[in-house]
């Protein structure tokens, strides 16, 4: 069996080789039709668009993305072509929780919010939104959640979007990016939304870039409609809006979920999925022992500062992809 692997998936080398006769590591953005033509499986991240253009006339029958998000997978085509696919739901939820919590600590030190008095609105309350809420709960006054796919939530009261717009001092986004269905999220935060908010909130996007209309966000920042913004996910990555980057309080290169712990979880889940595909009886082999190395104290737990990552990106926005692919070690 031949497997193509994104060479930026951490901790994976040596493990795939136990299941496949041939393993080739390539930069995710450079994986092309010729590379996959005689491959049986792909292990990718968000930089590989898995669609008809890439996969038609190949022998690929399995794709695992070592990420929560899967908008880079054309799932309709994959299903039609009989190609099994899987993602890693919840793998980096705690990492995003750490990022949002610590970014808000910095916002409080800068005088932008008073957490003990703040109402936080979480839009999208799946694995990640729930982890964010749990990370924030000891520090804020109130949490409300909006998720039209949920009838109830065990941790937080569910509210409509209008309540979030009207009552929240902080709004944090944790939805997938969808363009169809009953609840599309593309440009969910648009000009109309931003012009009708009640309390000049601080806006956080650690979901997907297209969930926010960045032109409208830039206008809202310039006109004072919102207090400030923390942006980790951007439209058009890696070619991001540099004017918006200059304007936001914290802007980072899509690394909110990039703790070593979250990466290890994703790699483990990816390997387990590959093992199930390989095994004739559908049973996975033993869980691989993946242990992240220790990070410096300054990049661990409550001490991690998203502003350090923001400063690097603001100094060199053209280095977005390099900074993401060579992210300094961080532990939860």
| Residues classed as catalytic | 208, 237, 254
Give bridge partners of residue 43 from the DSSP assignment: 5, 64
**Neighbour count for residue 50 (Cβ, 10 Å):** 23
Q: Rounded to an integer, what distance in angstroms lies between the CA atom of residue 235 and that of residue 51? A: 20
Place of tokens 């899987």: 86
- List the beta strands (DSSP E) in the chain: 2-6, 22-26, 41-44, 62-65, 84-86, 119-123, 142-146, 170-173, 202-205, 228-231, 250-251
Contacts of 273 (CB under 8 A, 6+ apart): 64, 86, 284
Helix (H, G, I), strand (E, B) or coil at 26: strand
Q: How many CA atoms lie within 13 A of 105 on its CB side?
A: 17
Place of tokens 């199930």: 276
CA-CA distances (angstroms) from residue 166 to 112, 122, 170?
18, 13, 11
**For residue 283, which phi and psi values (nearest 5 degrees)?**
-95, 130
Q: Rounded to an integer, what distance in angstroms lies between the CA atom of residue 237 and that of residue 176? A: 16
Alpha carbon 79 to its chain's center: 24
Question: Of 207, 216, 321, 192, nearest to 257 (Cα)?
Answer: 207
């Amino acid at each position: 069996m031949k497997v193509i692997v994104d060479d930026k998936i951490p901790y994976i080398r040596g493990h795939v080789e136990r299941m496949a006769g041939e393993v080739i590591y390539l930069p995710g953005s450079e994986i092309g039709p010729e590379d996959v033509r005689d491959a049986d499986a792909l292990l990718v991240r968000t930089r590989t668009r898995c669609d008809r253009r890439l996969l038609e006339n190949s022998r690929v029958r399995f794709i695992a993305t070592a990420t929560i998000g899967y908008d880079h997978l054309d799932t309709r085509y994959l299903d039609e072509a009989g190609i099994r696919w899987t993602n890693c739901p919840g793998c980096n939820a705690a990492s995003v929780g750490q990022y949002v919590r610590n970014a808000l600590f910095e916002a409080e030190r800068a005088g932008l919010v008073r957490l003990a008095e703040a109402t936080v609105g979480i839009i999208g309350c799946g694995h990640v939104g729930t982890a964010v809420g749990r990370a924030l709960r000891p520090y804020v006054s109130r949490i409300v959640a909006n998720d039209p796919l949920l009838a109830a939530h065990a941790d937080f009261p569910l509210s409509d979007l209008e309540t979030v717009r009207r009552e929240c001092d902080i709004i944090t986004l944790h939805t997938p990016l969808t363009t169809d269905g009953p609840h599309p999220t593309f440009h969910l935060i648009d000009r109309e939304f931003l012009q009708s908010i009640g309390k000049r909130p601080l806006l956080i996007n650690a979901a997907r870039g297209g969930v926010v209309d960045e032109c409208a966000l830039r206008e809202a920042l310039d006109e004072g409609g919102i207090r400030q913004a923390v942006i980790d996910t951007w439209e058009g990555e890696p070619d991001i809006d540099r004017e918006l980057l200059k304007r936001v309080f914290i802007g980072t290169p899509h690394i909110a979920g990039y703790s070593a712990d979250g990466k290890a979880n994703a790699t483990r889940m990816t390997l387990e999925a590959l093992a199930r595909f390989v095994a004739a009886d559908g049973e996975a082999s033993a869980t691989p022992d993946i242990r992240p190395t220790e990070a410096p104290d300054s990049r661990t737990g409550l001490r991690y500062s998203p502003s350090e990552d923001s400063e690097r990106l603001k100094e060199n926005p053209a280095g977005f992809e390099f900074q993401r692919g060579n992210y300094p070690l961080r532990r939860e």
